[in-house]
Amino acid sequence: MIYIFQEAFKGFFKNKSMSLITVGIVSVSIFIFGLFIIGTANLMNLIKLAEDKIEMVAYINENTNENGIQSVRNNILSIAGVQSVEYISKEQAKEQFIKDFKDNANLLEVFENNPLPASIKVHISIAYKNPENLKNISEKIALFKEVSDVDYGAEWVDELDRAVKFLFIIDIILGIIIALASVFIVFNTIRLTIMARKDQIDIMDLVGATESYIEIPYIIEGIFHGLLGSLISAGILYLLFSFLSTKFPALISMNNSIICILAIFGVFLGFIGSIMSVKQCLSEIRDFKSRKKVKI
Amino acid sequence: MIEFSNVSKSFQGDWLALKNASFKINKGEFAFLIGKSGAGKSTIMKLIYLDIFPEDGYINIAGYDSRTIKRKDIPFLRRKIGVIFQDFKLLPDRNVYDNVAFALKVTGESYRNIRKKTLDALASVKMSHKRNSYPYQLSGGEQQKVAIARAIVREPFILLADEPTGNVDPENTAGIMNLLFEINTLGTAVLMATHDHSLIKKDINQVIGIRDGKIVKPENIFSKLDIEETESAL
Ligand SMILES: Nc1ncnc2c1ncn2[C@@H]1O[C@H](COP(=O)(O)OP(=O)(O)O)[C@@H](O)[C@H]1O
Ligand SMILES: [Mg+2]
């Protein structure tokens, strides 16, 4: 058992250049993968911010009394997907208008009475913020006799929904391409470094090392390369994004869960890459001897 | 102890590298396997340590049967078989001591024993003084001695030597041969494959001839006269 770790460790230092190349290639692959993950996190965040802006307003008929308001509030609250409601009286609406349109506040002065209707702001839970559900809820609210009109920016919601779906597909395709490319590149690098030690594996097999004894040092080495590579790229990404977030404060930068994802991805690449390579190397050595035409 | 029973081996198609070979090697024996290049000597060696398997017939190696042995038992069989080659197969990135110790480390030998066994093996091939040298600093004869030390460090019951003097200059050939005889006197069987008649000594227990994959009398390894008789015997 001591041997196994010693050998894995020695392998790392003995083949310095090969180890550096492996770690370097893992770092670059994971760096690109990390950019993608952070990009995705920021994209999700933007979508969430946009969806937060979605709100529904139910305008109340002029002649609705206190009781009517109370009952329509409760009725709206009982609709599935409605999180909370907020009543805005005619006076509040006017104040808000004046606040919002400071320069043109006198627009209202042409009216004898306050023309702004009372309304109920309806907060929708995030899961219901899609075109179908919003439409459904708005139609239900419109049925109440106290409600004159419901508005939730249907066109904008539709557009946002289409954009989100499009970005999602692009993001997933990009993610698959990047992940596959990383797997391919890292696996091949590990394979080359292990194949370069074919002679060593051949001797182990000859003197009677069991398969696990042959494989485990290479696997530990692979895991170590993967972990080291991912931590290096995580470090670089961390620095890069701390710098960027001083310029763009809204940016989501590296956090622990992203570091974890990268480390797991790195270890995964190293582990699977080395286990597959060493098994392939071993079976190649054996096949070579029993089948292929070679000059002995 | 080692028994070949009607063993045939093909590498591709119908062509047989070994045809119906039968012979025995007894415990502690020194046996020669003699034949021209390409006759099938290395094939026999590889069959003994089950690097390759026969298509027909079977081999019994110290109780392990080639037909029934499990993949996971092969390493344990190999620990009891020492093998050396014409090209030594030393690892260039480690010194003499580590090359020999490697065979112990990768087979899970306890740390206490590795040092003692390695030094013992190096002493018995008279290479202790070069334990810190790297293979490239050694002559062919010296490299072969290190390879022998690695092969015997686990105290195998047989040492397979496949053209062990092929890359060793004439002065050192006798040294290697003497070493093999010495190892044999200590109780390890030796099977040595060679094409070189001059290496055969009087006190060898058995000489197995091989020609074109067939076991023949040693004096017939070059002749074509007995082809018909061997083939009718098949
Ligand atoms: N792995 C292999 N694939 C194909 N042919 C092989 C292989 N190993 C050996 N042979 C063939 O089998 C024959 C015997 O080879 P070998 O046992 O190496 O001969 P020797 O050791 O007596 O010189 C040769 O003709 C050789 O070309
Ligand atoms: Mg040969």
Query: Which of A20, A17, A8 lies closest to A228, judged by CA?
Result: A20
Domain assignments of chain A as residue spans, ordered by start? 2-49+161-289, 55-152
> Measured between alpha carbons, how far is B44 from B16 in angstroms, rounded to an integer?
13
B30 CB-side CA count, 13 A: 18
Q: Chain B contact for A296, CB < 8 A? A: yes
Is the C-alpha dihedral spanning A179, A180, A185, A189 positive or negative?
Answer: positive
> Measured between alpha carbons, how far is B118 from B112 in angstroms, rounded to an integer?
11
Backbone phi, then psi, for B120, in 5-degree steps? -60, -45
B16 CB-side CA count, 13 A: 16
Which pair of tokens denotes residue B59?
Answer: 């081999």
> Measured between alpha carbons, how far is A79 from A137 in angstroms, rounded to an integer?
7
Q: For the domain made up of A55-152, give the CATH fold.
A: Alpha-Beta Plaits (3.30.70)
Does B150 sit within 8 Å of A290, measured CB to CB? no
Query: Which of B141, B139, B145 lies closest to B99, judged by CA?
Result: B145
ipTM summary value: 0.91
Residue of A nearest to B106 (CA): A209
**Top-level CATH class of B2-233?**
alpha beta
Which pair of tokens denotes residue B81?
Answer: 């078989």
Query: Which of A94, A76, A78 lies closest to A86, judged by CA?
Result: A76
State yes or no: pLDDT of A183 exceeds 80.
Answer: yes
Tens-binned pLDDT, residue by residue, of chain B (234 aa): 999 999 999 988 788 999 999 999 999 999 999 999 999 999 999 999 999 999 999 999 999 999 999 999 999 999 999 999 999 999 998 999 999 999 999 998 988 899 999 999 999 999 999 999 999 999 999 999 999 999 999 999 999 999 999 999 988 999 999 999 999 999 999 999 999 888 887 777 899 999 999 998 877 777 765 554 555 454
User: Please, what is the Cα angle at B180 between B179 and B186, to 5 degrees?
Assistant: 90
List A residues 199-258 in contact with B (Cβ-Cβ < 8 A). 199-200, 202-204, 206-211, 213-214
Q: Nearest by CB to A209, which of B52, B72, B106?
A: B106
Report the pLDDT value the prediction gives residue A296, as an integer from 0 to 100. 41
Q: What is the best residue among B36, B43, B214 to mutate for testing ligand 1's pocket, by most ligand atoms within 8 Å of CB?
A: B43
Domain assignments of chain B as residue spans, ordered by start? 2-233
A80: left (phi over 0), alpha (psi -120 to 50) or beta: beta
CB pairs under 8 A between A and B: 67
Asked if B37 and B195 touch (Cβ cutoff 8 Å), the reply is: yes
